[in-house]
């Protein structure tokens, strides 16, 4: 079998995604029954492509090798959780942090502290123990948690980053920033409306 850049570690990367996705599925089922509402709209998973990993290693000034890709860059395996409301994002973060076998390595709240360009999302890097063929492997996983509106914004902004020679770049950056603020306000208003409906 032809093994790529991640070699046999691809098994760990796939397994960590499967493990955490399964735990999230249980949360979703439980919430649907207990609260009659699933706080998660959808989940996206990915293993970082070889090219994107190599580019990130170079960007961070690290030697391009598997050891650095797995242990210095934490997002070889990634899960993105898209929630309905902002408070769902924080609930999901708490639920993930409550698993006592999971270690939180890094945590960034870009919702309370948005990036200069307007980017909003909650980032967690966790280390997950996996039992594989009688051995315990501890594997990093990056989790990004955000609302549908934040996800919509970041997909468009991501496209711009990867396009070269964009005309009116300055205007686009300004417009995106404006949209990010409007989205943040809308997210808060949507929660207020939900609370009014539920009263
Ligand atoms: P890609 O191509 O999406 O995978 P640091 O802690 O700063 O040393 P890092 O990994 O840059 O390290 O951390 P951070 O800020 O938590 O960002 C990790 C990922 O979040 C990025 O991965 C993006 O997926 C996403 N992200 C961060 N900032 C932005 C942003 O301004 N816009 C968008 N659209 N996404 C963002 P990659 O590998 O950089 O990129």
Ligand 1 near 154 CB (within 6 A)? yes
124 close to 106: Cβ distance less than 8 angstroms: yes
Structural domain of 83? 7-152
Q: What is the DSSP code (8-state) at residue 8?
A: G
- Is 2 a domain residue? no
Ligand 1 pocket test, candidate residues 119, 143, 149, 150, most atoms within 8 A of CB: 119
Q: Take residue 31 and report the two structure tokens written for it.
A: 């919430």
Measured between alpha carbons, how far is 175 from 107 in angstroms, rounded to an integer?
A: 28
Instruction: Residue 137: give its domain's CATH number.
Output: 3.30.460.10
Q: Quick one: pLDDT at residue 87?
A: 97
- Closest by alpha carbon to 96, among 119, 76, 79, 115? 79
- Is 168 a domain residue? no
Span 48-73, average pLDDT: 96
Q: Quick one: pLDDT at residue 162?
A: 78
- Is 188 a domain residue? no
Ligand 1 near 58 CB (within 6 A)? no
Q: What percentage of the chain carries pLDDT values higher than 90?
A: 91
- Is 194 a domain residue? no
157 close to 183: Cβ distance less than 8 angstroms: no
For ligand 1, atom 26, the nearest C-alpha belongs to: 119
| pLDDT tens digits, 17-60 | 999 999 999 999 999 999 999 999 999 999 999 999 999 999 99
For ligand 1, atom 39, the nearest C-alpha belongs to: 56
Q: Quick one: pLDDT at residue 128?
A: 98
Q: Quick one: pLDDT at residue 199?
A: 85
How many residues make up the chain in this entry? Answer: 199
- Is 175 a domain residue? no
For ligand 1, atom 31, the nearest C-alpha belongs to: 119
Q: What is the DSSP code (8-state) at residue 19?
A: H
- CA 36 to centroid of ligand 1, rounded, Å: 34
Q: In sequence order, which residues have a C-beta less than 8 Å from that of residue 140 and are 6 or more positions away?
A: 16, 70, 71, 74, 75, 76, 77, 105, 125, 126, 127, 128
Q: Quick one: pLDDT at residue 2?
A: 66
In this structure, the strands spanning 135-147 and 122-132 are: antiparallel
Q: Quick one: pLDDT at residue 115?
A: 98
- Is 48 a domain residue? yes
Ligand 1 near 123 CB (within 6 A)? yes
Q: Quick one: pLDDT at residue 3?
A: 73
- Is 167 a domain residue? no
- Is 84 a domain residue? yes
User: What is the tally of structural domains in the chain?
Assistant: 1
- CA 37 to centroid of ligand 1, rounded, Å: 30
Ligand 1 near 119 CB (within 6 A)? yes
Q: Quick one: pLDDT at residue 1?
A: 62
Ligand 1 near 163 CB (within 6 A)? no
Strand extents, DSSP E, 3-121 = 40-47, 77-83, 103-109
Q: Which amino acids are annotated catalytic? A: 142
Measured between alpha carbons, how far is 18 from 62 in angstroms, rounded to an integer?
A: 28
């Amino acid at each position: 079998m032809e093994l790529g850049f991640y070699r046999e570690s691809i098994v760990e990367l796939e397994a960590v995604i499967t493990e955490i996705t399964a735990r999230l599925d249980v949360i979703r089922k439980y919430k649907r029954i207990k609260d009659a509402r699933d706080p998660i709209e959808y989940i996206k998973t990915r293993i970082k492509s070889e090219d994107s990993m190599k580019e990130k290693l170079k960007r961070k000034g690290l030697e391009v090798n598997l050891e650095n890709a797995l242990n210095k860059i934490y997002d070889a395996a990634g899960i993105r959780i898209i929630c309905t409301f902002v408070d769902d994002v924080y609930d999901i973060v708490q639920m993930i942090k409550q698993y006592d076998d999971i270690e939180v390595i890094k945590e960034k709240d870009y919702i309370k502290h948005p990036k200069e360009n307007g980017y909003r999302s909650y980032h967690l890097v966790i280390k997950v123990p996996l039992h594989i063929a009688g051995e315990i492997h501890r594997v990093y996983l990056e989790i990004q948690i955000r609302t549908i509106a934040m996800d919509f914004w970041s997909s468009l902004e991501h496209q711009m980053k990867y396009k070269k020679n964009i005309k009116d770049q300055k205007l686009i950056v300004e417009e995106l920033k404006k949209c990010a603020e409007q989205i943040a306000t809308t997210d808060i208003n949507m929660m207020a409306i939900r609370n009014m409906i539920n009263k």
